[in-house]
């Protein structure tokens, strides 16, 4: 876990001028909970904070985030931490740092530690560790671990909750099942997409009702989940005037309201354009950002039909992942600033089990190790560069994120705040990227039998991936707005290259003056 902490916790990519619309409303709601005792963000708005466009008009005429509220609760804890450690009013930067640590980094580390302990006995320590490592540093989870989005929190709750529901039903432990049901439902209170988990999990649990010992645990899971949904419905009723009304039904921005008015909250039938955007596109497509995804799906499919531990878990994970992927391809919008297919992130931990099972079968096959090495190193480089330097990619101004944003920023030595920066060094991004890549390289080698042919093919794969990433600006078509987009990014980047100094950050005044 120290490797993951170094890879994910070294840098703090924070740029106050960009007005991160997915993060600020959640942070402001957390501040409002502490300062005003209210879910409404009108108080922080009156005190000078701008939430951006991701807001909704409540039934009482006040403003609320258009997202569910659980992440805001962690932001409230983060705000308390920032207040406690500040000499005067905490800065917006300090509040965001604390909140990101609690809602982004911490759930990611908890999920990874839990997954390794759970899968290592069955799949083997090396294969399970590689699955965990690939998820953490070679998928967009690396970027969202650095942000105050709900993706990592929801993924942690959904994955652990579903597993505990299944464990409780299998072992006849109703308390464990109840906690699992509450956690799985809490994922919906963090991110609405997590509700899709109810379909595959419900079907598998329904099949277990044939065993009398499983009936009490299944009922306990259901009751706990319903209790959590009642709490979410109460929030909806308070904020938007109806238990069934969400922030998306009351979007304040006309453009957002129009997009969510298509079909059911923006969902329709899958389209070829949606398939390209979410699966094949080099901008944010799944196969570009997670090229080893098909291997994980194959492993999940195998585990789902093989009797033994984790079979039901694999069935739920595979159903959850594929259903969300299909739904993502039916959206009338693509997700704004993001890294990879972000609407799939709540189900992305499903790949850990699939990778663990698939890599366990590699054995002495040198060509399998070589191919896996190339794609693993490539995706680790791309995802760790995005996570540690610029996790806010705008698809409207780029063709290839590596070529149009990430590699040029790295070459120009643009680096965000980091542990290394505060210690007087400019090695934050190199440390994060280097740790991620080296850890993946070693982990891939350890799942196979290392021989001369394996080492030779792996060396070729690593060098090809490194040179491929480095040369992308030269070998890919240049977007007409690449230069203008880079000028904008450099204008808002902090800290700027040169003398080491913190950029100005807005203080967050309390609702009432202190004593």
Q: Residue 27: is its pLDDT beyond 70?
A: yes
Please indicate, yes or no, if residue 276 is contained in any of the structural domains. Answer: no
Q: Residue 231: is its pLDDT beyond 90?
A: yes
Please indicate, yes or no, if residue 177 is contained in any of the structural domains. Answer: no
Question: Where does the pLDDT of residue 514 fall: very low under 50, low under 70, confident under 90, or very high at 90 and above?
Answer: very low
251 φ/ψ angles, rounded to the nearest 5 degrees: -60, 135
Q: What is the pLDDT of residue 510?
A: 80
C-beta of residue 41 within 8 angstroms of C-beta of residue 25:
yes
Mean pLDDT of the chain: 91
pLDDT, tens digit, 9 for 90 and up, residues 287-297: 999 999 999 99
pLDDT, tens digit, 9 for 90 and up, residues 83-93: 999 888 899 99
> Is 168 exposed, middle or buried (CB count within 10 Å of its CB: 0-12, 13-18, 19+)?
buried
**Domain range enclosing 40:** 18-98
Residues in the chain: 515
C-beta of residue 433 within 8 angstroms of C-beta of residue 142:
no
Please indicate, yes or no, if residue 31 is contained in any of the structural domains. Answer: yes
Count Cβ neighbours within 10 Å for each residue of 26-45 and write b for 16 or more, e otherwise.
bbbbbbbbbbbebbbbbbbb
Torsion, Cα of 88, 34, 22, 275 (10° steps) = 150
Q: Residue 170: is its pLDDT beyond 50?
A: yes
Please indicate, yes or no, if residue 200 is contained in any of the structural domains. Answer: no
Higher-scoring residue by pLDDT: 427, 155: 155
Please indicate, yes or no, if residue 401 is contained in any of the structural domains. Answer: no
Please indicate, yes or no, if residue 220 is contained in any of the structural domains. Answer: no
For residue 127, give both structure tokens.
């294969």
Helix residue ranges per DSSP H, 241-338: 254-260, 272-275, 286-289, 293-305, 311-328
pTM for this predicted structure: 0.94
Q: How are beta strands 417-418 and 55-57 bridged, if at all?
A: unpaired
Contacts 24+ apart (CB under 8 A), 259-268: 259/332, 259/333, 262/332, 263/330, 263/332, 266/331, 266/332, 266/333, 267/327, 267/330, 267/331, 267/332, 268/330, 268/331, 268/332
d(CA 230, CA 243): 8
Please indicate, yes or no, if residue 67 is contained in any of the structural domains. Answer: yes
For residue 56, give both structure tokens.
């909704």
Q: Residue 248: is its pLDDT beyond 90?
A: no
3-state SS of 241-264 is: CCCCCCHHHHECCHHHHHHHCCCE
Please indicate, yes or no, if residue 92 is contained in any of the structural domains. Answer: yes
Domain count, the chain: 1
């Amino acid at each position: 876990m120290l490797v993951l902490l170094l890879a994910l916790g070294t840098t703090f990519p924070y740029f106050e001028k960009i007005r991160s619309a997915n993060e600020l409303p959640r942070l402001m709601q957390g501040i409002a909970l502490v300062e005003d005792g209210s879910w409404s963000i009108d108080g922080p708005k009156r005190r000078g904070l701008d939430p951006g466009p991701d807001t909704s008009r409540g039934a009482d005429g006040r403003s609320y985030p258009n997202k569910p509220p659980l992440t805001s609760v962690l932001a409230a804890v983060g705000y308390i931490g920032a207040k406690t450690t500040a000499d005067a009013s905490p800065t917006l930067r300090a509040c965001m740092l604390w909140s990101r640590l609690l809602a982004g980094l911490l759930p990611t580390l908890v999920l990874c530690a839990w997954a390794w302990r759970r899968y290592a006995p069955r799949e083997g320590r090396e294969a399970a560790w590689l699955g965990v490592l690939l998820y953490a540093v070679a998928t967009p989870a690396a970027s969202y671990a650095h942000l105050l989005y709900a993706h990592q929190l929801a993924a942690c709750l959904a994955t652990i909750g579903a597993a505990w529901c299944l464990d409780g039903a299998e072992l006849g432990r109703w308390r464990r099942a109840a906690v699992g049901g509450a956690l799985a439902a809490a994922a919906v209170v963090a991110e609405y997409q997590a509700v899709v988990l109810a379909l595959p999990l419900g079907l598998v649990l329904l099949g277990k009702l044939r065993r009398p010992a499983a009936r009490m645990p299944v009922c306990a899971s259901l009751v706990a989940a319903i209790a959590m949904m009642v709490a979410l419905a109460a929030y909806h009723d308070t904020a938007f005037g109806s238990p069934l009304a969400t922030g998306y039904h009351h979007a304040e921005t006309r453009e957002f309201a129009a997009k969510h008015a298509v079909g059911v909250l923006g969902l329709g039938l899958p389209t070829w354009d949606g398939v390209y955007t979410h699966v094949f596109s080099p901008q944010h497509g799944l196969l570009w950002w997670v090229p080893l995804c098909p291997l994980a799906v194959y492993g999940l499919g195998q585990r789902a039909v093989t009797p033994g531990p984790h079979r039901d878990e694999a069935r739920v994970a595979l159903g959850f992942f594929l259903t969300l992927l299909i739904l993502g391809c039916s959206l009338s919008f693509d997700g704004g600033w993001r890294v990879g297919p972000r609407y799939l992130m709540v189900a992305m931990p499903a790949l850990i089990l699939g990778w663990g099972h698939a890599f366990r079968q590699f054995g002495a096959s040198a060509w399998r190790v070589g191919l896996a090495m190339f794609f693993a190193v490539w995706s680790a480089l791309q995802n760790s560069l995005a996570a540690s330097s610029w996790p806010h990619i705008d698809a409207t101004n780029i063709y290839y994120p590596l070529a149009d944003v990430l590699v040029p920023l790295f070459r120009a030595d643009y680096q965000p705040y980091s542990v290394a920066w505060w210690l007087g060094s400019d090695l934050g991004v190199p440390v994060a990227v280097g740790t991620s890549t080296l850890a993946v390289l070693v982990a891939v080698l350890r799942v196979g039998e290392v021989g001369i042919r394996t080492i030779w093919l792996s060396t070729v794969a690593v060098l090809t991936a490194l040179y491929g990433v480095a040369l992308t600006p030269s070998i890919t078509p240049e977007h007409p707005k690449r230069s203008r987009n880079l000028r904008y990014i450099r204008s808002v980047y902090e800290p700027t290259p040169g003398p080491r100094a913190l950029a100005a950050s807005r203080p967050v005044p309390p609702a009432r003056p202190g004593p």
